[in-house]
């Protein structure tokens, strides 16, 4: 009797877990749809801006000039300038290997680059705190203002702060480590250099965007290309960082959706297993009781 009672308790506990994980899966699915819409909606603007910046740099090169701008690294950083690495993780867990993949990529990069490891490491999200503390990597600053739905104003303020520190010579390089959203079934941890802004990679990104659409945009610059570069480069940096945050949120929701679906399926299988065990235990108990009754009746004859 005690065994069947224990199995019934386990069946109830597994059922409760299944309901919780199913609810979390539905919430993650709804958040994924909304965050994917925000991420995909911003990509045409980012791709067009990248293509325009690439054409500006190409126009300067063809005109015999040099694409000199403080954000392109034309100024020599100070001797004590440090490299800055921003790692974007999540605030909550239960999202499968999402945080582990990002933190592993960041740690491998820091180990391979002593200048980056000896520089400044900043963190977005709470899940990377314990990891870096255990690894002995000090966190210069932890940003907690973004949450599940990062606002452009908050990202813009952070990008402007990085640009100011870079122009002032406080930092020599700014990189972002995050999970890039490719498709709903594919995400990959990447390391993107934010500053100094690389015009060659921008030109390649613009060419790739043109190849996807099958059209090549031709721009007539007015005012001159250097003047436009002064306005478009800061905008491109903000757009790149905002796209990184959006991709990170989408990837987190995908990972949590998949993880909760797997947990729900596992709970369903475990519930069926415990149900079979309960039926077998109950059948064995009934058989034992019948045997005892028959044996008792036979003893009275």
Whether 278 contacts 7, CB under 8 Å: yes
pLDDT of residue 187: 92
Return the bridge partners of 38, or none.
none
pLDDT of residue 103: 95
Spell out the CATH class of 28-257.
alpha beta
**Secondary structure (DSSP) of 110-137:** HHH-HHHHTSEEEEESSTTHHHHHHHT-
Cα separations (Å) of 227 from 54, 67, 164, 218? 14, 11, 19, 18
Whether 249 contacts 35, CB under 8 Å: yes
Nearest to 23 by CA among 280, 294, 257, 278: 257
pLDDT of residue 206: 47
- Block means of pLDDT (10 residues each) for the chain, 301 residues, are 82 93 92 86 81 72 60 71 94 91 95 92 92 92 88 93 90 94 90 81 50 55 70 88 93 93 94 91 84 79 67
Beta strands 120-124 and 186-195, pairing class = unpaired
Whether 105 contacts 98, CB under 8 Å: no
């Amino acid at each position: 009797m005690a065994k069947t009672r224990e199995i019934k308790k386990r069946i109830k506990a597994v059922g409760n877990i299944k309901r919780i994980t199913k609810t979390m899966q539905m919430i993650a699915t709804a958040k994924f749809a909304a965050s994917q819409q925000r991420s995909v909606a911003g990509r045409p603007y980012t791709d067009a801006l990248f293509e325009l910046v690439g054409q500006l740099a190409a126009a300067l090169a063809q005109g015999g000039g040099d694409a000199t701008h403080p954000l392109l690294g034309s100024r020599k950083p100070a001797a004590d300038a440090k490299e800055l690495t921003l790692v974007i993780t999540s605030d909550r867990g239960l999202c499968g290997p999402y945080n582990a993949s990002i933190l592993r990529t960041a740690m491998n990069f820091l180990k391979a680059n002593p200048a980056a490891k000896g520089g400044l490491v900043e963190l977005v999200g709470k899940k990377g705190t314990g990891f870096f503390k255990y690894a002995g990597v000090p966190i210069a600053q932890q940003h907690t203002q973004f949450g599940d739905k990062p606002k452009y104003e908050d990202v813009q303020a952070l990008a402007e702060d990085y640009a100011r520190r870079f122009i002032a010579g406080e930092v020599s390089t700014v990189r972002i480590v995050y999970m890039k959203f490719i498709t709903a079934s594919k995400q990959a941890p990447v390391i993107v250099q934010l500053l100094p802004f690389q015009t060659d990679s921008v030109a390649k990104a613009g060419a790739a965007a043109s190849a996807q659409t099958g059209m090549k945009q031709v721009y007539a610059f007015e005012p001159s290309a250097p003047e436009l570069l002064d306005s478009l480069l800061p905008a491109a940096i903000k757009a790149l960082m905002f796209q990184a945050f959006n991709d990170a949120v989408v990837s987190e929701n995908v990972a949590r959706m998949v993880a909760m679906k797997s947990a729900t399926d596992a709970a369903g299988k475990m519930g069926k297993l415990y149900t079979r065990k309960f039926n077998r235990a109950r059948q064995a108990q009934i058989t034992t009781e019948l045997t005892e009754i028959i044996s008792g009746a036979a003893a009275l004859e």
